[in-house]
């Protein structure tokens, strides 16, 4: 099939006017000017008219488990209060509710043009029962705060469940690695042993790792000052608090990952693809010393910013300019609907634009396409329209104004193709 559009935004070179992509099976086999594509490829033409053809969007941080909690938790006076509130809501949910919640999330994300989600689930054992209609990178979210002696057991059983994921739309196996990952939840809920165990497995199996880091002021207060509401709450659960009172969350994380981690500069990834490869969500709370450490450190990772969840919590400003100047690969995510209104990455791009009006719309669009593809180690397969990539495409209306500005401003339901199938 040949898909023609007024403009094809490949994210792999300049946009192509009167362009087309040839799709065979579930892959893109050719892309270029419509006249050339027609000459080089057989097949019916699907003409999308004046629309702009785009690569499918990638959500770099999401928790579909909590789609059903949309609007249930009003903003709380502290991050700790929010954790208490979500724990109370979670206590009322059964496995069937989580499966319904995840399926509801798939449908919504797809409606908004998201074709791949890096999704953290607390219930990896439910994954074999789920048939995702979009491409998934599942991460088993792990916490051992109540039973640190079970860290290894927890990881082993998660790995077993992840291995039984329905294979149709998972990611391609990059470099012989498995197309899924592990997510020790955060420094305050996952033990050092759990982080280490996940790191070992990632190194051995070439899988991805993600975690929440330096998200809230209270997390900074807990680790650096051994005080504050999060410190008191976590202490009351029985976590040993001997790592609190001197180091920042980032310092503790760098101690844990050592000189590992993936390179932060996307360009360098081609030459240095060492595992483990960490995708760090949030990174809102950084001290001047943290920035010095980041500048000097060999430990590099990808960063996910969740603009609307960030606004909901009222976190400290995200240091986008500084992280970008250090070469970090910054991606966007929606986080869960327990702290956001929808799973639309278009709305996320608009929220980011409001926060950082000087960043070009094209650069913002990279944060939901090529940047997360790079974080997921799928840069040849996802996030761009090029030969050999998955045929995950969408098309949005355009009036012929500023191309990327119009893309970000798009509201509505785009035309969408996933794995070569028009949806």
Q: Which residues bind Zn ion (CB under 5 A)?
A: 335
Pick 59 or 277: Cβ nearer Zn ion: 59
Beta carbon of residue 343, minimum distance to Zn ion (angstroms, whole number): 13
Q: What is the DSSP string of 367-417?
A: TTTHHHHHHTT-TTTSSS--TTSB--EEEE---SS-HHHHHHH--S--EEE
* Minimum CB–partner distance for residue 63 and Zn ion (Å): 6
Closer by beta carbon to Zn ion, 70 or else 206: 70
Cis before residue 299, ω within 30 degrees of 0? Answer: no
Report, in Å, the least distance between residue 6 CB and Zn ion. Answer: 37
Task: Pick the closer one to Zn ion by CB: 37 or 140.
Answer: 140
By beta-carbon proximity to Zn ion, the closer residue of 34 and 313 is 313
C-beta separation of 187 from 158 below 8 A: no
Cβ neighbours for 106, distance < 8 A, ≥ 6 positions apart: 64, 132, 133, 134
> Least distance (Å) from Zn ion to the CB of residue 305?
12
CB of 281 to Zn ion, least distance (A): 5
Q: What is the DSSP string of 287-315?
A: -HHHHHHHHH-S-B-EEEE-HHHHHHHTP
Give the number of other CB atoms < 10 A from CB of residue 255.
13
Rounded CA separation 230/328 (Å): 28
In this complex, which beta carbon is closest to Zn ion, that of residue 122 or of residue 359?
122
Q: Is 76 helix (H, G, I), strand (E, B) or coil?
A: coil
User: Min. distance of Cβ 304 from Zn ion in angstroms?
Assistant: 9
Rounded CA-CA distance 418/423 in Å is 7
Strands 393-396 and 16-24: unpaired
User: What's the first-to-final CA gap in the chain, in angstroms?
Assistant: 15
What are the Cα distances from residue 303, in Å, to 13, 30, 212, 330?
24, 32, 10, 5
Of the pair 220, 396, the CB lying nearest Zn ion is at: 220
The residue (of 290 and 335) whose beta carbon lies closer to Zn ion is 335
- Beta carbon nearer to Zn ion, 211 or 366: 211
| Residue closest to Zn ion, measured at CB | 335
Q: How far is the CB of 250 from Zn ion (least distance, A)?
A: 17
Least Å distance, CB 54 to Zn ion, is: 26
For Zn ion, the closer CB: 172 or 316 = 316
CB 28 within 8 Å of CB 421: no
Tokens of 270: 């081609």
CB of 148 to Zn ion, least distance (A): 21
Beta carbon nearer to Zn ion, 41 or 210? 210
Segments of 14-134 assigned E as strands: 16-24, 27-33, 45-47, 52-55, 57-62, 114-121
Pairing of strands 57-62, 16-24: unpaired
The conformational region for residue 272 under phi > 0 = left, psi -120 to 50 = alpha, else beta, is beta
CB of 202 to Zn ion, least distance (A): 19
* Residue keyed to tokens 């719309």: 361
């Amino acid at each position: 099939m040949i898909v023609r559009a007024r403009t094809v935004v490949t994210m792999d070179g300049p946009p192509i006017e009167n362009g087309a992509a040839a799709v065979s099976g579930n892959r893109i086999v050719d892309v270029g000017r419509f006249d050339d594509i027609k000459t080089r490829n057989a097949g019916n033409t699907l003409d999308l008219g004046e629309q702009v053809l785009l690569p499918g969007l990638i959500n770099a941080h999401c928790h579909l488990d909590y789609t059903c909690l949309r609007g249930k938790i009003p903003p709380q006076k502290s991050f700790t209060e929010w954790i208490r509130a979500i724990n109370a809501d979670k206590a009322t949910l059964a496995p069937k509710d989580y499966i319904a919640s995840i399926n509801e999330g798939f449908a919504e994300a797809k409606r908004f043009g998201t074709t791949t989600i890096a999704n953290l689930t607390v219930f990896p054992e439910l994954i074999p029962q789920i048939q995702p209609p979009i491409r998934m990178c599942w991460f088993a979210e792990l916490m051992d705060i109540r039973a640190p002696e079970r860290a290894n057991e927890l990881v082993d059983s998660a790995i077993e469940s992840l291995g039984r994921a329905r294979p149709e739309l998972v990611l391609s196996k990059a470099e012989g690695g498995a197309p899924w990952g592990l997510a020790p939840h955060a420094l305050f809920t996952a033990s050092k042993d759990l982080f280490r165990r996940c790191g070992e497995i990632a190194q051995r199996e070439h899988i991805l790792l993600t975690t929440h880091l330096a998200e809230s002021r209270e997390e900074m207060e807990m680790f650096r000052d051994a005080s504050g509401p999060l410190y008191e709450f976590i202490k009351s659960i029985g976590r040993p608090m001997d790592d609190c009172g001197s180091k920042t969350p980032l310092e503790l994380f760098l101690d844990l990952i050592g000189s590992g981690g993936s390179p932060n500069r996307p360009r360098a990834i081609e030459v240095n693809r060492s595992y483990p490869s960490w995708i760090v969500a949030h990174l809102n709370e950084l001290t001047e010393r943290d920035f010095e450490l980041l500048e000097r450190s060999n430990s590099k990772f990808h960063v996910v910013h969740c603009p609307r969840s960030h606004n909901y919590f009222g976190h400290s400003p995200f240091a986008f300019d500084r992280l970008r100047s250090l070469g970090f690969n910054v991606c966007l995510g929606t986080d869960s609907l327990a702290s956001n209104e929808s799973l639309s990455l278009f709305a996320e791009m608009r929220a980011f634009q409001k926060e950082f009006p000087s960043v070009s719309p094209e650069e913002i669009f990279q944060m939901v396409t090529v940047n997360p593809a790079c974080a997921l180690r799928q840069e040849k397969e996802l996030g761009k329209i090029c030969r050999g990539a998955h045929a995950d495409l969408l098309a949005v209306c355009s009036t012929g104004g500023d191309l990327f500005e119009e893309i970000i401003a798009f509201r509505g339901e785009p035309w969408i193709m996933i794995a070569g199938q028009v949806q």
